[in-house]
C-alpha cells in the first residue's frame, strides 16, 4: 500500500502468514507504535520488503512471531523493532539505511526492542543506520543474537553536538535485570 497512514496493520489479526509483499511509502508518524507493518500473535512474515516509510518500518508485537528474509530499509525512523514479545524468531533479515533523516531523539536506527522474553536473532545484517544496528533496551531476557553482522551504523548528533542516537552495532541497555518490588510486582 502506498501513501496510507500505515501500510498493513489489521485490527487484532492473529496467526497470519504474509509472504512476498513490498510495503512502502506509508505516511506513518515517527512514534515507535506507528510502524508501517505491525505483527500480532502467531504471525509469520517472510520474503518481504518494508521500505521508504515516513516513520518506522516493521513493528514486531505479539507472541510466537517469526520474521524470515525480511529487508527493512530507508525508513524514516527504525527498520524493525517492537516490545513485549515472547518466543520471537528473527532470521536472515536485513535492516539498513534507516533513521537518516528523523528529527526525533533516539530510538531509530536498525531497530529497537524492549521487554522480549525468549528471542533468537540469527544471521541479521544491520548496516548504515542512523543510530544502533540493533538496540535491546529495557528488560529483555533469554535473548540470543548469533552469526550476525553490524557495520557502518553512525551516531546521529543534535545541532549542539550531543548524541541523538548512538551508532553502536549492537547496543544492550537495561536488560537482564529483574527488579521486584516488596509486594512481588515487577
**pLDDT tens digit sequence for 147-163:** 999 999 999 888 898 88
Per-residue b or e along 97-127, where b marks 16 or more CB atoms closer than 10 Å to that residue's CB: bbbbebebebbbbbbbbbbbebbebeebbbb
Cell of 167: 551508532
pLDDT score recorded for residue 31: 63
Tell me the three cell numbers of residue 69. Answer: 528474509
Pairing verdict, β 86-91 and 66-68: parallel
Q: Are 115 and 139 within 8 A, CB to CB? A: yes
Angstrom distances, CA of residue 143 to CA of 27, 79, 89, 109: 32, 19, 10, 20
**pLDDT at residue 1, rounded to an integer:** 43
- The whole model's pTM is what? 0.86
* Pairing state between β 94-96 and 149-151: unpaired
- Compute how many other C-beta atoms are within 10 angstroms of the C-beta atom of residue 146: 9
| Residue whose C-alpha is closest to residue 50's, from 98, 87, 115, 100 | 98
Half-sphere exposure of 70 (CA within 13 A, CB side): 29
Average of per-residue pLDDT across 27-38: 80
Q: How far is CA 168 from the centre of its chain?
A: 15
Round to whole Å and give the CA distance between 166 and 157. Answer: 9
- In residues, how long is the chain? 186
Task: Average the pLDDT over 122-151 and give the result.
Answer: 95
105: pLDDT strictly greater than 90: no
Burial of 182 (0-12, 13-18, 19+ CB in 10 A): exposed
pLDDT, tens digit, for every residue of 177-186?
444 455 555 4
Amino acid at each position: 500500500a502506498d501513501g496510507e497512514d500505515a501500510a498493513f496493520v489489521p485490527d487484532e489479526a492473529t496467526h497470519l502468514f504474509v509472504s512476498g509483499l513490498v510495503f512502502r511509502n506509508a505516511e506513518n508518524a515517527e512514534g515507535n507504535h506507528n510502524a508501517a507493518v505491525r505483527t500480532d500473535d502467531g504471525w509469520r512474515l517472510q520474503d518481504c520488503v518494508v521500505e521508504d516509510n515516513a516513520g518506522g518500518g516493521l513493528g514486531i508485537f505479539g507472541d510466537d512471531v517469526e520474521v524470515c528474509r525480511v529487508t527493512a530499509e530507508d525508513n524514516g525512523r527504525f527498520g524493525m523493532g517492537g516490545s513485549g514479545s515472547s518466543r520471537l524468531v528473527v532470521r536472515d533479515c536485513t535492516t539498513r539505511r534507516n533513521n537518516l533523516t528523523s528529527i526525533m531523539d533516539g530510538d531509530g536506527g536498525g531497530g529497537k526492542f524492549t521487554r522480549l522474553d525468549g528471542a533468537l536473532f540469527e544471521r541479521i545484517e544491520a548496516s548504515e543506520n542512523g543510530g544502533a544496528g540493533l538496540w535491546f533496551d529495557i528488560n529483555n531476557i533469554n535473548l540470543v543474537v548469533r552469526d550476525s553482522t553490524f557495520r557502518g551504523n553512525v551516531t546521529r548528533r543534535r545541532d549542539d553536538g550531543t548524541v541523538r542516537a548512538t551508532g553502536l552495532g549492537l547496543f544492550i541497555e537495561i536488560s537482564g535485570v529483574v527488579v521486584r518490588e516488596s509486594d512481588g510486582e515487577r
